[in-house]
């Protein structure tokens, strides 16, 4: 009687077939001198792909050197040579052009390029890059409201990323530090939707104060969890951020009961099993675009009644 799993297939004992070794074609590696693409002869070719590389590398180098107009010109030339199906390079070049326009003070043109990128965003990585780009554009322009709106979307898209919460908390502090009479002026940028303006409009000082507390408490919770798996310079960065977070919370000066209440609310979803799940999918992409950040985070904290017993008591 055969025992389950004790039999073998006859092919296991058959002789292996002789392997036919095919000679590989000889390959010569191409050696390039440093910054070879800067030479005038680099464009002396009929190969469109080679020209595309030259302009792309020139743009990257000029941007790194701080020559943003030259970088923009190189990126623009590269864009004309990119095939329609090469979406990866196209997105990279468009983002480079937008960042050049931002540094050159051309906010409207930068936002138009960002809009082109938004039409091609098809996954979480695309949307994350787009939102980070828009944050830098609005930050450079001084538009706190739209900047806050983008950071809220980033926190909704990646709720376990402490750095987006940290940036959102810093943006809330900017609102608190501004003159209330001038708080809502010079915020509009052509192309911004009403939703983008919501970040700074119709917010009382106590609401902004509460949001700042929420963001820094959430940041502290996430960093304390993540630093257990970190080392070297990554751990040093987290430790420094924790120190800054503690200083900002001390400046915001919430009562101990408020800290405890908000900590409980902000830690409800911090379950190790849930934090290990893969959120890089289409469902999370839709959620970040449609879900109301206020309902999920801001309003939950307000419902705890914190503002009834505590309020802005900023220390200098």
- Asked if 310 and 274 sit in the same domain, the reply is yes
Residue 58: CB partners within 8 Å, gap ≥ 6? Answer: 37, 38, 70, 71, 74
- Is residue 128 assigned to a domain? yes
> Which residue from 153, 190, 189 is spatially nearest to 171, judged by alpha carbons?
153
pLDDT of residue 315: 61
Look at the chain and report how many structural domains it folds into. 2
Q: How many CB atoms lie within 10 A of CB 199?
A: 26
* Alpha carbon distance 91, 245 (integer Å): 34
Radius of gyration of the chain (CA): 26
- Asked if 251 and 289 sit in the same domain, the reply is yes
pLDDT in tens, the chain (316 residues): 444 445 555 665 556 565 556 666 777 777 888 888 888 888 888 889 999 999 999 999 999 999 999 999 999 999 999 998 899 999 999 999 999 999 999 999 999 999 999 998 888 899 999 999 999 999 999 999 999 999 999 998 899 999 999 999 999 999 988 745 444 434 444 444 444 444 454 578 888 999 999 999 999 999 999 998 889 999 999 999 999 999 999 999 999 999 999 999 999 888 877 776 544 444 455 555 445 688 888 887 766 766 656 666 666 5
- Asked if 231 and 290 sit in the same domain, the reply is yes
- Is residue 31 assigned to a domain? no
- Asked if 102 and 170 sit in the same domain, the reply is no
- Asked if 210 and 110 sit in the same domain, the reply is no
Which of 68, 86, 120 is a domain's end point? 120
> Which residue from 114, 142, 140, 141 is spatially nearest to 129, judged by alpha carbons?
114
- Is residue 219 assigned to a domain? yes
pLDDT of residue 187: 45
- Is residue 278 assigned to a domain? yes
- Asked if 112 and 253 sit in the same domain, the reply is no
Which of 68, 89, 120 is a domain's end point? 120
Residue 281: CB partners within 8 Å, gap ≥ 6? Answer: 124
pLDDT of residue 3: 47
- Is residue 30 assigned to a domain? no
- Asked if 105 and 149 sit in the same domain, the reply is no
- Asked if 266 and 293 sit in the same domain, the reply is yes
CA angle 272, 277, 279 (to 5 degrees): 130
pLDDT of residue 19: 58
pLDDT of residue 59: 96
- Is residue 53 assigned to a domain? yes
Which of 98, 120, 142 is a domain's end point? 120
Q: Residue 88 belongs to a domain with what CATH number? A: 1.25.40.10
- Asked if 174 and 104 sit in the same domain, the reply is no
- Is residue 215 assigned to a domain? yes
- The distance of Cα 9 from the centroid of its chain, to the nearest Å, equals 54
- Is residue 284 assigned to a domain? yes
Look up residue 78 and give its two tokens: 């590269």
Determine the angle formed by the axes of helices 87-103 and 68-81, rounding to 10 degrees.
160
pLDDT of residue 103: 97
- Asked if 129 and 149 sit in the same domain, the reply is yes
- Asked if 146 and 249 sit in the same domain, the reply is yes
Instruction: Give the residue carrying structure tokens 């701080």.
Output: 66
pLDDT of residue 183: 41
DSSP string covering the chain, please?
-PPTT----GGGGSPPPPPPPPPPPP--PPP--TTGGGSGGGG--S-HHHHHHHHHHHHHHHHHHT-HHHHHHHHHHHHHHS-TT-HHHHHHHHHHHHHHHHHTT-HHHHHHHHHHHHHT--SHHHHHHHHHHHHHHHHHHT-HHHHHHHHHHHHHHSTT-HHHHHHHHHHHHHHHHS-GGGTTTT---TT--HHHHTTTTT--HHHHHHHHHHHHHHHHHHHHHHGGG--HHHHHHHHHHHHHHHHHHHHH---HHHHHHHHHHHTTT--HHHHTS---SHHHHHHHHHS-HIIIIIHHHHTTTHHHH-------
* Alpha carbon distance 282, 59 (integer Å): 33
Residue 87: CB partners within 8 Å, gap ≥ 6? Answer: 120
- Asked if 162 and 280 sit in the same domain, the reply is yes
Which domain range does residue 315 map to?
A: 122-183+193-316
């Amino acid at each position: 009687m055969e025992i389950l799993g004790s039999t073998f297939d006859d092919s296991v004992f058959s002789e292996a077939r002789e392997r036919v070794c095919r000679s590989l074609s000889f390959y010569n590696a191409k050696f390039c001198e440093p910054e070879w693409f800067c030479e005038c002869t680099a464009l002396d070719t009929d190969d469109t792909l080679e020209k595309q590389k030259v302009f792309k590398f020139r743009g990257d180098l000029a941007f790194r050197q701080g020559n943003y107009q030259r970088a923009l010109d190189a990126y623009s030339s590269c864009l004309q040579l990119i095939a329609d199906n090469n979406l990866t390079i196209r997105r990279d070049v468009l983002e480079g052009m937008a960042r050049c326009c931002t540094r050159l003070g051309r906010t409207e043109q930068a936002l138009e390029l960002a809009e082109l990128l938004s039409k091609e965003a098809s996954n979480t990585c695309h949307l994350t890059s787009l939102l980070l780009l828009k944050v830098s554009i609005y930050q450079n322009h001084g538009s706190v409201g739209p900047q806050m709106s983008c950071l809220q979307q980033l926190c909704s898209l990646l709720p376990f990323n402490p750095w987006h919460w940290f940036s959102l908390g810093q943006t809330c502090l900017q609102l608190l530090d501004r003159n209330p009479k001038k708080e809502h002026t010079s915020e509009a940028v052509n192309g911004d939707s009403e939703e983008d303006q919501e970040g700074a409009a119709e917010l009382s000082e106590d609401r902004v104060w509460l949001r700042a507390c929420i963001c820094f408490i959430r940041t502290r919770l996430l960093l304390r969890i993540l630093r257990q798996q970190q080392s070297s310079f990554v751990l040093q960065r987290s430790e420094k951020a924790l120190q800054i977070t503690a200083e900002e919370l001390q400046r915001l000066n919430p009562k101990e009961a408020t800290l405890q209440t908000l900590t409980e609310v902000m830690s409800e979803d911090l379950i190790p099993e849930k934090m290990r799940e893969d959120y890089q999918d289409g469902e999370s992409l839709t959620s970040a675009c449609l879900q109301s950040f206020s309902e999920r985070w801001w309003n939950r904290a307000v419902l705890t009644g914190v503002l009834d017993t505590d309020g802005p008591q900023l220390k200098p």
